[in-house]
């Protein structure tokens, strides 16, 4: 574990807000980008990642001595994002009920295309496919592809073993393959 | 081992996460299995197009103001707690004084006084009941020390 992080965490547990500021600066990018990958738009990602830090600050004494901050913090961020997605899905379902459009597919996750960069067409299609994954599958794709985390880091953040991570990655990628494959007129077959 | 058992190794192979021994084992399987070779080829294509997509970097201002945003929220949270505690104290004190005034006022009818006392008694019973239920379930909760 990084010594700076350990020191900041200990000082923070003794009530130093300045030390918490150091932890925020260490992990703000990870927090924001993970939230962006999970919920799909910038405003919500900023709001949720900041809220996660606020909650972490309130419960900072719960971090056990010797444990790293990030895996503990990640659980807070993840719960907030999942709960946000759930609310958004219910809101969308309710609004569809109100407008009497049962034929419109309840695609709960309004993923904004400007959240990602890359080759325009591919970007749009891949991002849309990722938005259609189940949250637990989207999560491993985000951590692996967008944050470049190792299996060990992902396993630590998710609180499970490496076997579970590889298995989830397999199912997540298989589903993506389905969504991007020729059967869906997708982009996979265009890649040499 | 069946192809199904090699799925996890395939992901590790794709992401360079295997030990040399696991890599050799997987490559040995791959050399004799068309299905896995085909599947690996598709996963490689998928990885290539997924890697083309990156999350958009926000403006620098967002990072500069980030801690400020978190700090303000923390401070406001403390403000709300202090405000709520003070509001509850004042409401209880005001309520108590109001009830006292009504009870002591000889011009207020007995029926109104009785109704008021019954209302307070009802609220107290409801509060104690909810509190007892909370404490009972908290005491029985086997998972209360489990960290999420």
Shared domain for A91 and A126, answered yes or no, is no
Closest residue to A54, CB basis, from B54, B63, B74 = B74
Shared domain for A82 and A145, answered yes or no, is no
The 10 Å Cβ neighbour count of residue B119 is 11
Q: Is residue A110 part of a domain?
A: no
Q: What is the pLDDT of residues A141-158, one digit of tens each?
A: 999 998 889 999 999 999
Q: Give the per-residue pLDDT at A78.
A: 94
User: Buried (b) or exposed (e) across A114-151, using 16+ Cβ within 10 A?
Assistant: ebbebeeebbebbbbbbbbbebebbbbbbbbbbbebeb
Tokens of A78: 């993840």
Q: What is the pLDDT of residues A39-87, one digit of tens each?
A: 988 999 999 999 999 999 999 999 988 888 999 999 999 999 999 988 8
Could you tell me which chain A residue has the CA closest to the CA of B5? A167
Taking an 8 Å cut-off on Cβ atoms, the answer to whether A24 and B70 are in contact is: yes
Query: What's the first-to-final CA gap in chain B, in angstroms?
Result: 36
Shared domain for A2 and A28, answered yes or no, is yes
Give the number of beta-carbon pairs within 8 Å between A and B.
Answer: 112
d(CA B64, CA A25): 10
Q: Select from A44, A72, A102 the last residue of a domain.
A: A102
The domains of chain B are located at 3-51, 59-107, 109-148
Residues A49, A32: contact at Cβ < 8 Å? yes
Tokens of B7: 């799925």
ipTM: 0.77
* pTM confidence score: 0.76
Instruction: Label residue A185 by pLDDT band (50, 70, 90).
Output: low
Tell me the H-state helices in chain B. 7-14, 20-31, 34-51, 60-104, 110-140
Shared domain for A121 and A182, answered yes or no, is yes
B96 and A CB contact within 8 Å: no
Q: Give the per-residue pLDDT at A107.
A: 43
Closest residue to A191, CB basis, from B48, B53, B63 = B48
| Residues of chain A with C-beta less than 8 angstroms from the C-beta of B62 | 32, 46
The 10 Å Cβ neighbour count of residue B21 is 8
Q: Give the per-residue pLDDT at B24.
A: 93
User: What is the count of structural domains for chain A?
Assistant: 2
Shared domain for A43 and A122, answered yes or no, is no
CATH of the domain at A176: 1.10.10.10
CA distance B7 to chain A (A): 7
d(CA A40, CA A49): 13
According to DSSP, residue A146 is labeled: I
d(CA A74, CA A34): 9
According to DSSP, residue B3 is labeled: G
Structural domain boundaries enclosing A87? 1-102
């Amino acid at each position: 574990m990084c010594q700076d992080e350990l020191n900041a965490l200990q000082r923070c547990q003794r009530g130093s807000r300045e030390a918490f500021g150091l932890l925020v600066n260490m992990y703000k990018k990870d927090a924001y980008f993970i939230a962006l990958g999970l919920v799909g738009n910038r405003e919500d990602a900023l709001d949720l990642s900041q809220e996660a830090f606020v909650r972490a600050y309130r419960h900072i004494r719960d971090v056990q001595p010797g444990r790293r901050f990030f895996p503990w913090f990640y659980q807070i961020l993840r719960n907030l994002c999942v709960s946000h997605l759930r609310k958004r899905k219910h809101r969308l379902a309710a609004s569809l009920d109100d407008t009497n459009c049962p034929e419109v597919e309840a695609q709960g996750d309004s993923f904004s295309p400007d959240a990602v960069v890359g080759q325009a067409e591919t970007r749009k299609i891949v991002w849309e496919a990722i938005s259609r994954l189940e949250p637990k599958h989207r999560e491993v794709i985000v951590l692996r592809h967008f944050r470049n985390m190792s299996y060990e880091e992902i396993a630590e953040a998710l609180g499970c073993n490496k076997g579970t991570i590889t298995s989830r990655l397999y199912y997540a990628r298989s589903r993506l393959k389905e969504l991007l494959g020729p059967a869906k007129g997708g982009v996979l077959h265009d890649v040499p | 081992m069946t192809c199904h058992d090699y799925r996890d190794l395939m992901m590790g192979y794709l992401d360079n996460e295997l030990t040399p021994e696991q890599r050799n084992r997987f490559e040995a399987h791959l050399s004799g299995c068309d299905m896995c070779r085909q599947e690996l080829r598709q996963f490689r294509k998928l990885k290539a197009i997924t890697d083309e997509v990156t999350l958009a970097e926000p403006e620098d201002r967002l990072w500069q103001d980030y801690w400020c945003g978190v700090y303000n929220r923390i401070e406001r949270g403390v403000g709300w707690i202090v405000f709520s505690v003070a509001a509850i104290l004042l409401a209880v004190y005001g309520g108590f004084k109001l009830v006292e005034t009504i009870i002591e006022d000889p011009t207020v009818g007995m029926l109104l006084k009785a109704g008021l006392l019954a209302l307070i008694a009802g609220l107290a019973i409801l509060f104690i009941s909810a509190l007892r239920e909370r404490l009972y379930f908290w005491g029985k909760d086997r998972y209360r020390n489990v960290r999420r």
